[in-house]
Amino acid sequence: MTSRDRLLAICLPVLWGFNFVVLAWGMGSGDNEVPPLLFAALRFAVVVPAVLFVPRPKAPFAKVAAIGVFMLLGQYGLLYTSMAVGMPAGLASLVLQVQVPLTIVIASASLREKPTVVQIVGVTIGALGLAIVGAGRGGHIPLTALFLCLAAGLSWAIGNVLARALRVPGGLSLTVWSSTVVPVPLVLLAVAVDGPGVLSDGVHAFGWKAGVSTVYTVVLSTLVGFAIFNSLLARHSSSTVVPWILMVPIVGITTAWLCLGEVPNTAELVGGACTIVGVLVAQGVLRRRTRAVIPA
């Protein structure tokens, strides 16, 4: 990666990690909670009108739609359904990172992108860090919720590989046009999971906080975040890009601490440090710095 692309990659966990705080703040709680699946549908429904201003990617629409189905619809539909049946939001952000090793494995098998030994070691260290964080959080997780969250990670991984295979220059166009297949199925899923009254409940609970949250998720998390992500996948191998996403839960825990007063425990601090080291190892940063300080 160039220095510019590395800076862009660092932006991803910052934008997506803080997104969990923004979502929690915007959705509210109790009787004033915007139903999660409906909130996700609104996020992409607001993106869709951008097709009037953003040129269609220079690729068959069927392939663009497939990326939207796996990377966006599958990921968020399964993730929010998992949360609706008992998966805590914090643990969901951790379990979802199964997409990192899955992306590397699928890309290796289908695209012949073999990860280096250093990348494998780094991802393993990072995953171990997330496991430590998850163990520190504890709590009983229903098997159905866990299965759905793992399926969301698999769906995201497949979408990553499809985007890497397509290699469309300019991530914004791919992000906007792939979003067109998301809103309607998510609304139908919301009705199936939460019942027919979900639409009226959503309208009743939607206030100015939900509006501000939607602006963040649409502009920064979706348009900017996925545009950066897709553009990096077009230029670099999956095993180079996706390890950065391991940092998302760490940023989420840190920002929840700063903004919501959710103080991390010892396991979260140790696991977070381990994850950061793993990402640096996977990117070869520590190896380069070690070589720099050791005289030839």
Tokens matching residue 189? 């899923």
Amino acid 34: pLDDT? 81
Q: Which two tokens stand for residue 62?
A: 């069927």
Distance from C-alpha of 143 to C-alpha of 150, rounded to nearest angstrom: 10
pLDDT of residue 45: 93
Span of 2-6, 113-117, 228-232 with lowest mean pLDDT:
113-117
pLDDT tens-digit map of 136-184: 766 667 888 888 988 999 999 999 999 989 888 778 899 999 999 999 9
* Global confidence as pTM: 0.82
Q: What's the pLDDT score for residue 289?
A: 47
Q: For residues 233 and 164, is the Cβ–Cβ distance under 8 A?
A: yes
pLDDT range class, residue 31, cuts 50, 70, 90:
low
**Given this model, what pLDDT does residue 287 score?**
53
pLDDT above 70: residue 117: yes
Per-residue pLDDT of 66-109, as tens digits, reads: 999 999 999 988 888 887 777 777 677 778 888 888 888 898 88
∠ Cα 55 154 129 (to 5°): 110
Nearest-Å Rg of the Cα atoms of the chain is 19
Measuring CA to CA, how many Å separate 285 from each of 14, 52, 256? 19, 41, 27
